[in-house]
Structure 1
Amino acid sequence: MKKLIYLFMMALVVGACDEGFDELNVDPTKPPQIAAANKLTAVQKFISSERYDNWRAGMIYQSTMMQHIATTAGYWDGDKYTWNRGYASSLMDRYYGNAIKTIEDLLFQLDEEEAPDEMKAIVRILRVFAFSRLTDLYGDVPYSEAGKAVLEGIFLPKYDAQSEIYPDMLNELEESAAALSSGTSGFGAADVIYNGDQAKWKKLANSLMLRLGLRLIKVDPAAAQSWATKAIAGGVMESNDDIFYLQHDNNNRNGISEVFAADGNPRMSKTFIDFLQAGNDPRLPILAARRGDGSTAAEDLIGFPNGLNSAMLLEMTGEENTDAYAEPNRDILAAFEAPMIFQTYAEVQFMIAESNVRWGIGGDAETAYNNGVRAAMKQLSLYTDAATIADADIDTYLAANPYDAANAIEQIANQYWVATFLNEYETFSNWRRVGFPTLVPVNFPGNETGGTIPRRLTWTENEAAVNADNYQAAIAAQGPDILTTRVWWDVE
C-alpha cells in the first residue's frame, strides 16, 4: 500500500511540473510575436511618417521645388536648389528603418500563420506604395533585398534598377487586386485607413496601378496605355469616400502639421497664389492666409517669389520681413489631427481624363476633368467642416474655367498640381512626368543645378561608406548621385 501511495504522489508531482512546462521554457528576454493586426496599424502610420522626413524631403525640398511654397530661410534648400544630403535622404532614412522593415516582417508572419490571401494583398499594396515613393524620389533603390536583415541576414542590399522595380510593382498590384473581393478583411478595425474594407483596397490597387502605369508615359508609352487600360477596367476609386488617407489625432500627429507648428518660415509661392487668383479659385481662402493678421481676403493674399533670401528681398522690395505675404492657412491645415493624404479620387479622375485624351479610353475627358475639379475642392472638408466649398461655388468656377480640349494635358496637369498641394511626393513625380505646370526655375547664387529644377533627391550618406560596393554600382548604372540625375522613367 505504501508503495502505491508513493507512486501516486510521484505522478501528481510529475503532472504538476509538466503542466507549466511550455511556459517555463519560453525565453523571458524575448518578446512574444506581435499580432499581425497591430503591425498593420504600425505600417500605416510609418507610411504617413513623422515630422523629420515630411519636413525635409517633403516640404523643404519638394514643396518649394514645385513652387507651392517659398521662403527666405536658407535651410529650405529646395527653394534655392542647394544641397543638404541629410535632408535629401530623409525619406530613405525613415522608410527603410520603419515602414519597409515592418512590411517585410509582416509579410513573413502572414505566410508563417497561413493568413488569407486578402490580408497579404493589403500589405502588398502598402509595400508597393512605400517603394513607389522611394524609387520615384531616388531612382534605383534597394528593393528585392530590402528589409531582409533579420529575415535573411542581408545587411547590405543591392540597388535594383528602377526599370526592374516598376514591372514588379505593377504585377504586385495586379495580383493583389485579384486576391481581394468584398467584405471585411481579417485585419478588421486595425486597418485604420479602410477599416478592413476589401472593396476599397481593391479600388486602391487599381488606382495605384493607374498612377504607376502613367509614370511610364515618356519611357514606354505602349506599356503606359496597357496598364492604364487594365487599371480603369479593373475598377478605380469612385468617389471621395475612397480616398487613400490616414486620419491623425493628438496621440499620432500629422507630420506636416508638426512642421507648421515648428517652423514659421513657409510662405505660399507666388506661382501658386497667382494661379489660384487668376481662376478666382474658391480654394484660395482655405489654403492660404496672410501671415501678419490671418486675413483670407483675396486682395490680401500675396504670393512670395521663390529663390530669395532676406538680403535679396530687401534689395528688391525694401522689405525686411515676409509678414505681408500669404502662408499656408494654419487654422485649417495645421491641426495635429489633420489627414495625411496619399491618393485621391480627384487625382484618379484627372488621370482618366488624360487617358481619354491620349488613347480614347476611360470615358469622356471633359466629364472626368469636371469630376476631378469638383472632387478636389470637396476633399478639403477632410480637414474641417470650415473648409467645405459649396456646390454653387464649384459650378461657378467650372463655368468660368471650362475644359479646354486644345490644351487638355496642360490644363489637367495644372489642376493635378493644385489637388496635390501638401502631397508633394506626388506633385514632384507628376510634374516630371508631364512637364506641367510651367514653373520658372530660380538661379540662387551657389545653387547645385545650374539654375534648373532638380529631377531627384540623393541617397543617404551612410550608404557611400557602409554599403559602398552596391552604392557605387548604383551610380555606375543610374548616373551621379546628384540632384540633376534623372530617374529611369523621367527621360528627356
Structure 2
Amino acid sequence: MVSCNSDVLTNLNNDPNKIDYVIPSYLFTQIELGMPQTRGQLHQGMQYVATYKDVPDIGGKQFDYIPGFGFTIYSTQFNAIKQCMDALKMPEDVNKIALCRIVRVYGYHTLTDATGDVPYFEASLALNDVLKPKYDTQQAIYMDMLKELDEAAASLNPAMPTFAGADVFYAGDIPKWKKFAYTLMLRLAMRLSEKDPETAKKYALIAINGGVMSETGDIAYLKYSATATNPRAPYTEYQATQDPDNAQGQKLSSTLINQFKTTRDPRIYVLSVVWTKVGSAYVPDTTMASQKGMVPGSILGYPADFPTYSEYSPIWWNRETSPLIILSPAEAQLLVAEAVLKGWYTGTSEKAAYDLAVTRAMQQWALWPNVPSLSPNSSTIPAGAIAAYLATGYPYKTNGTVAERQEQISTQKWLSLLGDDHEVWSNWRRTGFPKFNFKNWEGSKPYPGSVTGGEMFRRLPYPDERATNNDNQQEALKRQGFPLDPSVKAQSDALLGRVWWDKK
C-alpha cells in the first residue's frame, strides 16, 4: 500500500481520449452548426412543393402531422439552448458571452414561435437541478428575448477577443455580428406588429438605427466543403436524380411556379427543371415555358403526367456544397420596407428597401455552386435580369393599398427565404400572406381525412410530458385555451390554436 503511486492510481479510470471540461470555442461551433435543424419540415405546408401521395410530409395536405415532430423541435432547440447555457457559465470575455446570448435567442424564438408558451426562465435550471420547469408566457419570453438582443448587441466590442476561427459564420467579425443581432431583433419586433405594435415599433427602430444587414457579405450561412457530410442541405427527398419519380412523389408547386412565370422571375432558371427523356438519358429542360407546377392537395395516386412537372434543379439539391442561409440582408431589408410601410421609420423609402432586398435575394443564389454536368444554367443571376424584374416583372406597388404592399413584401419574403420554412410559416401566420389555397381537392374541398378541415395548422403540439412535467404543461395548455383532454392524440385539435402574437 505504501509503495503505490496515488497520482497514477487516481487517473487510472480517466479516458485519455476525452476531456471532462467545456471548451467554449468548440461548443460555439457546435451551436452554430445546430441552428438550422428545423429547416425543411414545412416545405409542403408553405407550398414550395406538392405531392401525389397521402402523407409523405407535414402540412402539404393538412392530412395529419408527424407524431414526433413537436418533440423534434424541442429536442433540437433545447439541446442548442443547453449548449449556450454551458458556454455562458465559462468565465470568458464580453464578446463570447454576447454571442452566446444572441444565438440562444435564435433557438428560443424558433421554439416558442412553433408551439407557444414554453419553459424559458427556468429552462437552464431544468437542464441541471429543476426537473419540472414552469412554462412561461410567450409575451414574457418575447420581452426578454428583445432585451437580451438589445443588451448583447450593445456590449459587443471589436477590440475584445472573439471565438475567431471557431465562429463559422463570421470568424469573429464583431461588426457583422452586430448586424446579425439587430436583424434578428427586427424580425422579432415585427412579429409583434399585430399584437403589440407599440413594443414592435420601439424595438424595430432600435434595430434599424443600430444597423441591420444590407450587403451580401452580411449573410450568415453555413458553407460545406465538397468532402464533408452535409446532412441538412438541402432535402434529399426532393431529388429525382434525373428520374421522373422521387421518394416523396413531389414536384414544385403550382403556387411557386405560377408566381415565377407571372412575374418573369429569373430565379426560375436557377431553381426549376423538367427532366425530359431523350433516348435512354434524361436531359434537363430549364426554359420558362416548360416549367409546370403541381397543384397542392389535389392529386391522390400517381398522375399520368407526373414526369412533366417541374422539380428542383441540381443547383439547389447539390448535396455536397449547397449552403444553408441562417439570416440574410434580403430579409432585413424587407423588414425595413415593412417598417416604412407602417410609418415607423422614415430613413428610406419602401421602394428603395424593397428593391435592395430583392437584389440581395437574387444575388445570394451565387453562393450555390454550379453543376455543369447536370444543369445548363448558372447560379449567378445577371444584374440586367434583376433590374428588369424590378422594373417590369414585379415592381413595387408604390401606389397600391397598404394590404397590397404588405402582400408584396411578404411574397418576396416567401421567395427569398426558400428553405427556411419555419420563418416563412411564422410570417404567413402574422400577415396572412402569401394567400395560399389549401382546399384544392376536387376544386374546393379539403384533402380527404384532413384533421384540420383543410386549414393550415397554426402551431405544433407539445411533446407529451404527462409523465415528467404534466402539471406545468397542462397549466400552459389551459392558459392558452388549448385542449386538455389526454385522450386526444398529441393534442391534435390544438393545431389550429394560436400562439400569443398570432392575431391576424
| TM-score of the superposed pair, with normalisation by structure 2 | 0.85
Higher helix residue share: 1
Q: CA deviation at 1:490?
A: 0.3
Deviation of residue 246 (structure 1)?
1.4
Shift of 1:91: 3.8
**In the alignment, what sits opposite 1:64?**
44
- Is 1:134 matched up with 2:136? no
CA distance in 1, matches of 2:275, 2:69: 28
Aligned match of 1:467? 469
**What is the CA-CA distance between 1:359 and the residue it aligns to?**
1.3
Cα shift at 1:97: 5.3
Secondary structure of 2:136's counterpart equals: coil
Taking a change above 3 Å as real, the CA distance of residues 96 and 77 of structure 1, as seen in their structure-2 partners, is: closer
Q: Give unpaired runs (5+ residues) of structure 1.
A: 1-12
User: In the alignment, is residue 332 of structure 1 matched against residue 316 of structure 2?
Assistant: yes
Residue type of the alignment partner of 1:132: H
Q: Which residue of 2 aligns with 1:6?
A: none
Distance 1:454 1:299 in 2: 34
Deviation, structure 1 residue 22? 9.6
User: What's the offset of the Cα at 1:147?
Assistant: 4.5
CA contact (8 A) 2:214 2:330 kept: no
Whether 1:395 aligns to 2:387 is: yes
Mapped pair 1:165 → 2:141: yes
Report the Cα distance in structure 1 between the residues aligned to 2:256 and 2:68, rounded to whole angstroms: 24
- How much does 1:238 deviate? 2.5
Instruction: Give the aligned partner of residue 498 of structure 2.
Output: 486
- The CA distance in 2 between the partners of 1:97 and 1:213, in whole Å, is 23
Question: Matches of 2:174 and 2:357 in 1, distance apart?
Answer: 24
Say yes or no: does 1:303 pair with 2:293. yes
User: 1:46, CA displacement in angstroms?
Assistant: 1.6
| Aligned match of 1:444 | 447
Q: How do 1:198-209 and structure 2 match up within 5 A?
A: 198-209=174-185
Within 1, Cα distance between the matches of 2:331 and 2:257? 21
Deviations 1:346-386 (A, max 9, x none): 11111111111111514111111100111100011111253
Total equivalences in the alignment: 457
1:229 to 205, 224, 234: 205
1:175 alignment partner in structure 2: 151
What are the superposed Cα offsets for residues 148-177 of structure 1, whole Å, 9 maximum, x if unpaired?
A: 445x32223222111111000000000110
Does the aligned pair in 2 maintain the 1:89–1:457 contact within 8 Å?
Answer: yes
Change (3 A) 1:331 1:231: closer
Amino acid at match of 1:290: V
1:239 positional shift:
0.5
Task: Tell me which moved more, 171-180 or 95-104.
Answer: 95-104
C-alpha spacing 1:185/1:64, structure 2 compared with 1 (3 Å): farther
| Structure 1 residues 284-315: Cα deviation after superposition (integer angstroms, max 9, x where no partner) | 1211112554321111110111113434xx6x
Partner of 1:106: 87
1:410: Cα distance to partner?
A: 1.4
Query: Which of 325, 344, 348 is the matching residue for 2:328?
Result: 344
Q: How does 1:119-268 map to 2 (within 5 A)?
A: 119-150=96-127, 152-182=128-158, 185-249=161-225, 250-260=227-237, 263-268=247-252
Deviation of the 1:182 alpha carbon: 2.2
Q: Distance in 1 between matches of 2:81 and 2:214?
A: 29
Q: CA deviation at 1:392?
A: 0.7
Looking at structure 2, the residues matched to 356 and 96 of structure 1 have their Cα atoms a distance apart, in angstroms, of 33
1:77 corresponds to which of 58, 69, 72: 58
Q: Name whichever of 259-268 and 285-294 sits farther off.
A: 259-268
Aligned to 2:486: none
8 A contact 2:176–2:218 mirrored in 1: yes
Tell me the secondary structure at the aligned position of residue 83 of structure 2. helix
Q: Which residue of 2 aligns with 1:43?
A: 31
The 3 A distance-change label for structure 1 pair 258 and 81 is: closer
- TM-score relative to the length of structure 1: 0.87
Q: Aligned to 2:222, what secondary structure does the other structure show? A: strand
Q: Is the 8 A contact 1:410 1:437 kept in 2?
A: yes
Residues 11-68 of structure 1, C-alpha deviations (whole Å, 9 max, x = no match): xx99x97xx949946961684213110011111112123xxx54xxx33xx2211111
Tell whether the 8 Å contact from 2:61 to 2:438 is kept in structure 1 after alignment: no
| Distance (Å, rounded) in 1 between the aligned partners of 2:12 and 2:95 | 32
**CA separation in 2, counterparts of 1:158 and 1:356?**
38
Which residue number in structure 2 is paired with residue 10 of structure 1? none
State how far apart, in whole Å, the 1-side matches of 2:80 and 2:131 are.
Answer: 17
Counterpart in the other structure of 2:359: 374
Cα distance in 2 for residues equivalent to 1:179 and 1:95: 28
Equivalent residues of 1:286, 1:387 under 8 A apart = yes
| SS of alignment partner, residue 65 of structure 1 | coil
In terms of mean alpha carbon deviation, does 115-124 or 79-88 score higher? 79-88
Deviations 1:246-304 (A, max 9, x none): 11334341414253458453311111110111000000121111255432111111011
Asked if residue 86 in structure 1 is aligned to residue 99 in structure 2, the reply is: no
Partner secondary structure for residue 325 of structure 2: strand
Specify whether residues 440 and 84 from structure 1 end up closer, same or farther in structure 2 by C-alpha distance, changes over 3 A only.
closer
**Amino acid in the other structure paired with 1:478:** Q
Q: Quote the offset at 1:85 in angstroms.
A: 4.3
Q: Which has the larger radius of gyration?
A: 1
Shift of 1:220: 0.7
CA distance in 2, matches of 1:421, 1:121: 29
Q: Could you say which residue in structure 1 is the equivalent of 2:341?
A: 357
> Aligned partners of 1:280 and 1:23: how far apart in 2?
74
* C-alpha separation in 1, matches of 2:8 and 2:149: 42
SS in 2 for 1:466: coil
Deviation at 1:146, TM superposition (A): 2.2
Structure 2's unaligned 5+ residue stretches are 240-245, 277-281, 371-377, 440-445, 483-490
Question: 1:104-151, CA deviations, whole angstroms, 9 ceiling, x for partnerless residues?
Answer: 21212x2xxx2111101001110000111111111112222224445x
Q: Is the 8 A contact 2:351 2:396 kept in 1?
A: yes
The C-alpha deviation readout for 1:393-421, integer Å capped at 9, x for no partner, is: 11111110321121321111111111011
Q: Relative to structure 2, which stretch is displaced further, 258-267 or 401-410? A: 258-267
Q: State the match for 1:34 in structure 2.
A: 22
Q: Give the equivalent residue in structure 2 for 1:4.
A: none
1:388 Cα deviation from its structure 2 partner: 0.5
Change in 2 beyond 3 A, CA 1:437/1:325: same
CA distance in 2, matches of 1:323, 1:184: 57
| Range that drifts further, 324-333 or 159-168 | 324-333
Match of 1:418 among 396, 415, 418: 415
Distance in 1, Cα, partners of 2:64 & 2:247: 20
